[in-house]
Amino acid sequence: MPQVCRLLGYLIFFWSNENNEPIHVHVCKGKPSADATKIWLEDVPRLEHNKSQIPAKDLNRIMQWLAANKNFVVDKWNEHFK
């Protein structure tokens, strides 16, 4: 489970077995799980689901960070899934 970063106490990460899907991240607080919030990294980050129940204020800040740092996250994805 490669970690992208920690932001506002949340872990932003990839699952290593999901390289057959478009680029996306999972977000959670505490122990990562398969049900962690999932965000697609499209032109603008898009929320797939919020199963981690991240409060809207925090989720908005995470989405803004992902939009501003999309190239960084995509580079991390590409490095991991080569």
pLDDT one-digit tens code per residue, 44-80: 999 999 999 999 999 999 999 999 999 999 999 999 9
DSSP notation for the chain: --EEEEETTEEEE--TT-TTSPSEEEEESSS--TTSEEEEESSSEEEEE-TT---HHHHHHHHHHHHHTHHHHHHHHHHHT-
Phi, psi of 29 (to 5 degrees): -110, 135
pLDDT at position 46: 98
What's the domain count of the chain? 1
pLDDT at position 16: 84
What percentage of the chain reaches a pLDDT higher than 70? Answer: 100
Residue 52 vs residue 82, higher pLDDT: 52
Structure tokens at 34: 């398969």
Enclosing domain of residue 9: 3-80
What percentage of the chain reaches a pLDDT higher than 90? Answer: 83
pLDDT at position 50: 98
Whether residue 57 contacts residue 64, with contact meaning beta carbons closer than 8 Å, is answered with: no
